[in-house]
């Protein structure tokens, strides 16, 4: 038996065949901590036509043991029995599943394209003139129907350009007066709804009372019969 194989496996005489006769062989021991698993393997066939090349002999032994579920290493401590080998595989799978997945969020293509455009002095002038045309003042905001989005679409420029020029030179997109007007209209509408609900609630109460009276009359009629 070659020196390489002797250092990786324990050479010994092991049982072979049905009669249990002892032949030349090796014993592979699991190299995992606290594991005492071992397996004998006859290798006397190596003396018949294969020579004593250490690499060929090791490959022969490794192939035979791996067929039995073992994991054979190049050193004695690297061997793993089927139980320890499977446990190591499952541990590696769990570790890979627990590793957090970092997802890179790509900005929308439109944002990338808009950011790639640089606003020139002529662009600023065109946007300013359009805003000066459709923006009333800081209290009212835009004229009816106009927004940053509509101005950007009308000029064919990024909405961010419109927002920058408006905030620097004019005011908010929606004026305070318009907000107050919406609040006042919403308050009036709420009062109207509440006023409509009062008769409805009263009608519901009368319907319930009518059902009660109808039930009482039915009971009285049964007694009179």
Q: Range with the lowest mean pLDDT among 12-16, 73-77, 102-106?
A: 102-106
Specify whether the CB–CB gap between 53 and 40 falls below 8 A. Answer: no
Domain shared by 115 and 155, yes or no: yes
Q: Write down the pLDDT at residue 158.
A: 95
Q: Which 8-state DSSP code applies to residue 106?
A: P
Whether 208 is covered by a domain: the verdict is yes
Say how far apart CA 193 and CA 190 lie, in whole Å.
5
Domain count across the chain: 3
Domain shared by 76 and 31, yes or no: yes
Whether 122 is covered by a domain: the verdict is yes
Whether 129 is covered by a domain: the verdict is yes
Using CA atoms, how far residue 72 sits from 56, 58, 170, in Å, is 14, 9, 78
Domain shared by 13 and 69, yes or no: yes
Domain shared by 129 and 72, yes or no: no
Q: Write down the pLDDT at residue 48.
A: 45
Q: Which 8-state DSSP code applies to residue 38?
A: E
Span 128-149, pLDDT tens digits? 999 999 998 888 889 888 999 9
**What 3-state class would DSSP assign to 173?**
coil
Domain shared by 117 and 148, yes or no: yes
**Domain enclosing residue 214, as ranges:** 190-225
Whether 182 is covered by a domain: the verdict is no
Domain shared by 78 and 124, yes or no: no
Whether 180 is covered by a domain: the verdict is no
Domain shared by 135 and 66, yes or no: no
Whether 93 is covered by a domain: the verdict is no
**What secondary structure does DSSP assign to 78-97, as a single string?**
G-B-HHHHHHHHHHHHHHHH
Domain shared by 65 and 131, yes or no: no
Whether 198 is covered by a domain: the verdict is yes
Domain shared by 160 and 118, yes or no: yes
For the entire predicted model, the pTM comes to 0.37
Span 39-63, pLDDT tens digits? 988 886 544 444 456 677 778 888 8
Whether 185 is covered by a domain: the verdict is no
**What 3-state class would DSSP assign to 12?**
strand
Span 172-199, pLDDT tens digits? 887 655 555 666 777 777 777 777 777 7
Mean pLDDT of 89-117: 65
Domain shared by 7 and 78, yes or no: yes
Dihedral-angle region of residue 93 (phi above 0 means left; psi in -120 to 50 means alpha; beta otherwise): alpha
Side-chain-side CA neighbours of residue 113 (13 Å) = 6
Tokens, residue 57: 């002999």
Domain shared by 22 and 54, yes or no: yes
Specify whether the CB–CB gap between 8 and 58 falls below 8 A. Answer: yes
Q: Say which residue the tokens 């043991």 belong to.
A: 65
- The pairing of beta strand 21-29 with beta strand 10-16: antiparallel
């Amino acid at each position: 038996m070659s020196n390489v194989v002797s250092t990786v496996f324990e050479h010994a005489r092991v049982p072979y065949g049905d009669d249990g006769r002892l032949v030349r062989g090796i014993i592979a021991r699991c190299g995992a901590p606290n594991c005492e698993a071992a397996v004998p393997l006859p290798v006397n066939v190596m003396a018949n036509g294969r020579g004593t090349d250490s690499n060929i002999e090791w490959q022969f032994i490794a192939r035979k043991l791996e067929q039995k579920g073992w994991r054979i290493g190049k050193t004695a401590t690297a061997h793993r029995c089927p139980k320890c080998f499977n446990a190591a595989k499952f541990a590696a799978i769990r570790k890979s599943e627990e590793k957090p997945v970092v997802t890179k969020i790509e900005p929308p293509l439109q944002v990338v394209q808009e950011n790639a455009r640089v606003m020139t002095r002529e662009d600023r002038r065109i946007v300013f003139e359009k805003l000066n045309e459709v923006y009333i003042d800081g209290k009212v905001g835009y004229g009816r129907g106009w927004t940053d989005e509509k101005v950007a679409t009308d000029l064919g420029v990024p909405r961010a350009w419109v927002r920058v020029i408006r905030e620097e030179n004019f005011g908010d997109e929606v004026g305070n007066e318009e907000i107050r007007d919406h609040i006042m209209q919403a308050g009036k509408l709420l009062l109207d709804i509440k006023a409509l609900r009062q008769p409805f609630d009263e009608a519901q109460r009368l319907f319930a009372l009518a059902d009660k009276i109808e039930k009482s009359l039915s009971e009285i009629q049964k007694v009179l019969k």
